Amino acid sequence: MFGPPGAGKGTYASRLHEKLGIETIATGDIFRELIKKDTELGRKVKAYMEKGLLVPDEIVTEVLKERLSQIPKGKGFILDGYPRTFEQAKALEAVTKIDVILMLDVPDWIIIERLSSRRICRNCGTVFNTRFLKPKIEAVCDKCDGPLYQRSDDNPEVIKKRLQVYKEQAKPLLEYFEKKKVPFVISKTTNLDQPPEPVVDNMIEELKKRKFV
Ligand code: ADP
């Protein structure tokens, strides 16, 4: 799953998981868990994340390989937030085949609006939005009643930096995958209040056409 921060990668991946049972590996989530543990590695990762910068490739790849080793052999998975650099793409190709890129195309203005009102369940990670994807009860998760929080990097200054980093890294990476003839399924968002369901249904249809599911 490829796209700018706030494009909906986590939201779509969790719905694909519900509908198709495919596991998701989200490097950002793994890092947030690491930070909670307050180890030396966690502190190192935090210093990058809070500035909106990429965590160094050696750390990311190590963490990803560890997580990939937990996926049963022959089972598929969705990657959310990986690869973000050439080195990461190479490391990934060395251990697995990339079947398809689910590409999310979302303009900056929508991203900025969405991220500044995004809320996440502290318990189960479900994503809400105080304006467009409201929980039934304010600040409470619909699914597990857990408390909702705002990510510390979802503030205007860090959002701008994350977008800039994405733009610098994404273009050469996408060109690389195009050259390698990895198929793309592109989902374009043009409305701020675009509900996730039709986007997910379209992704499933496209995946079925290509016999991935
Ligand atoms: P977003 O895509 O909205 O920025 P993520 O949760 O995917 O959110 O990532 C949050 C932060 O975690 C990034 O800004 C970066 O610091 C770090 N991170 C996540 N994945 C990677 C990766 N593959 N390579 C380097 N840094 C990463």
Query: 162-207: per-residue pLDDT in tens?
Result: 999 999 999 899 999 999 999 999 999 999 888 899 999 999 999 9
Give the strand pairing for 127-129 and 118-121. Answer: antiparallel
> Alpha-carbon dihedral of residues 21, 185, 201, 197, nearest 10 degrees?
100
pLDDT for the residue numbered 38:
82
Query: 4-39: per-residue pLDDT in tens?
Result: 999 999 999 999 999 999 999 999 999 999 999 989
Mean pLDDT of 54-79: 94
- Give the closest residue (by CA) to ligand 1 atom 19: 28
Helices and strands: H and E segment counts in the chain:
8, 7
Pocket residue to mutate for ligand 1, from 9, 27, 80, 116, most atoms within 8 A of Cβ: 27
Q: How far does residue 213's CA lie from ligand 1's centre (Å)? A: 27
Query: 95-114: per-residue pLDDT in tens?
Result: 999 999 999 999 999 999 99
Counting from 1 in the atom list of ligand 1, the atom nearest the Cα of 83 is: 23
Q: How far does residue 40's CA lie from ligand 1's centre (Å)? A: 19
Mean pLDDT, the chain, integer = 94
Q: How many angstroms separate the CA atoms of 30 and 23, rounded?
A: 14
Report the predicted TM-score, pTM, of the whole model to 2 decimal places.
0.90
Which residues neighbour 24 within 8 Å (Cβ) at sequence distance 6 or greater? 10, 13, 14, 16, 17, 77, 78, 79, 80
What burial class does residue 180 get, using C-beta atoms within 10 Å of its C-beta: 0-12 exposed, 13-18 middle, 19+ buried? exposed
Tell me: pLDDT of 135 over 90.
yes
